[in-house]
Amino acid sequence: MPALLEVRTLWKSFGGVHAVRDCSFDVEAGRITGLIGPNGAGKSTAIDLISGFLEPDAGVIRFAGLDVGGRPAHRVARLGLVRTFQSPRVWAGLTVMENMLLAAPEEGREEVWRAVCTPARLRESEEADRAQARAILGEFGLLPLKNDPAGNLSGGQKRLLEIARIFQARPRMVLMDEPLTGVNPVLGARIGEGIRHLVAAGMTVLMVEHNLPFVEQVCGTVIVMALGRSIAHGPLAALRSDPAVVDAYLGQVLARV
CA-wise closest residue to 101 among 122, 80, 74? 122
- Mean pLDDT for 44-71 is 96
pLDDT tens digit sequence for 169-207: 899 999 999 998 878 888 888 889 989 999 999 999 999
Q: Please state, rounded to an integer, the average pLDDT across all residues of the chain.
A: 88
- Label residue 106 by pLDDT band (50, 70, 90): low
Strand ranges (E), the chain = 3-14, 17-28, 32-36, 58-63, 66-67, 81-83, 173-177, 204-208, 221-226, 229-234
More confident residue, 150 or 119: 150
Contact 220, 32 (CB under 8 A): yes
pLDDT tens digit sequence for 83-102: 998 888 899 999 999 999 99
Domains in the chain with CATH codes: 3-89+172-256 (3.40.50.300), 91-152 (no CATH)
- Label residue 255 by pLDDT band (50, 70, 90): very low
At 103 the pLDDT is 87
Global pTM value: 0.86
Distance CA 96, CA 146 (A): 5
pLDDT at 148 exceeding the cut of 60: yes
pLDDT at 76 exceeding the cut of 60: yes
